[in-house]
Amino acid sequence: MNKFFLVFAILSTTACLGQTRSSRTFLLVHGAWSGGWDYARVDSILKTNGDRVYRPTLTGLGERVHLSNANITLSTYISDIVNVIRFEDLHNIILVGHSYGGMVIAGVAEQVPDRIHQLVYLDAMVPNDGESAQAVCGDLWNTLIAPNIKDGFVLYPFGSTKPAPPTDVPQPLRTYTEPLKINNPLVKQIPTAFIVMTKNGKSDPATNKMGVDRARARNWAIYSFEGGHYSMREQPQNLVKKLELILQK
């Protein structure tokens, strides 16, 4: 009987070891007006699974709102993320960008494509060479963004923000108007996926033009995800499951 339990223990240990995977590195980039706080619950879930997670806040947003000024540009944001990669010496990164964060991760990939294992555009902007976020917005700029521009900043356009942190804050206008140069051929070698949010199985035609339509034109892998635009806030567990699905491919 003792021998039986010994063999069982050895087999069980071997099975567990076979299921063990190496720790992955996630770098999560938030969208406009937001901050690294947006990914707090996603961070917790991934770390529980044994992964390393970085969720930096872009200059002047979130807990770095005290640094906010009208001279901050898209290049500032790209440098924020590139410097995290370089100073933390990150490699084989799963780089996720939500919404406006698509502009940022596109710029990051231009500079450090060798550090990135997977790109994930989470209901995000997909820029073409020479485009700004304003250009990517297209018609939505005049109806959604332009009415909320004040003193060199873009105010949160989706209703009232929370009265106390963590909350969305105004974002410098120049982060929307600076064009992005895209010409590094190595970026095309990075596996890239796009997550499109749907309601009753359908995505929004207005926002499709900023993201999923452009992703399809690039032959990226497309994943539908039922729910609202802020999946990391509303359903973090399901977002992690969706990321797992992408990484299994």
- Give 249's pLDDT tier (boundaries 50, 70, 90): confident
Cα(97)–Cα(20) distance, integer angstroms: 27
Q: Which residue stretches of 141-230 are H helix?
A: 174-177, 205-208, 212-217
Mean pLDDT of 60-85: 98
Give the CA diameter of the chain: 79
Q: Is the pLDDT of residue 70 over 80?
A: yes
Residue 222: which H helix or E strand, with range?
A: strand 221-226
Residue 97 phi, psi dihedral angles, 5° rounding: -125, 125
Q: Residue 99 catalytic? A: yes
Residue 20 confidence (pLDDT): 63
Residue 6 confidence (pLDDT): 42
Mean pLDDT of 42-69: 98
Residue 22 confidence (pLDDT): 87
Asked if 226 and 199 count as a contact pair (C-beta separation under 8 A), the reply is yes
Angle at 238 (CA atoms; ends 117, 62), nearest 5 degrees: 75
Instruction: Give pLDDT tens digits for 139-176.
Output: 999 999 999 999 999 999 999 999 999 999 999 999 99
Residue 16 phi, psi dihedral angles, 5° rounding: -65, -40
Cα(178)–Cα(180) distance, integer angstroms: 7
List the domain boundaries for the chain. 26-248
Q: Is the pLDDT of residue 1 over 60?
A: no
Cis before residue 166, ω within 30 degrees of 0?
yes
Cα(41)–Cα(237) distance, integer angstroms: 8
Instruction: Give pLDDT tens digits for 114-137.
Output: 999 999 999 999 999 999 999 999
Of the chain, the percentage scoring pLDDT greater than 70 comes to 92
Fold designation for 26-248: Rossmann fold (3.40.50)
- Please report, for the chain, how many H helices and E strands are present, in that order: 11, 9
Token pair of 77, please? 């944001």
Cα(232)–Cα(220) distance, integer angstroms: 22
CB atoms within 10 A of CB 73: 18
Asked if 203 and 215 count as a contact pair (C-beta separation under 8 A), the reply is no
176 contact partners, CB below 8 Å, separation of at least 6: 74, 132, 133, 134, 137, 145, 154
Mean pLDDT of 209-227: 98
Residue 19 confidence (pLDDT): 53
110 contact partners, CB below 8 Å, separation of at least 6: 180, 181, 182, 183, 184, 187
Residue 183 confidence (pLDDT): 96
Lowest mean pLDDT among 3-12, 24-33, 109-118, 139-148: 3-12
Mean pLDDT of 176-195: 98
| Residue of 214, 195, 191, 186 whose CA lies nearest to 128 | 214
Q: Which of 34, 99, 203, 231 is catalytic?
A: 99
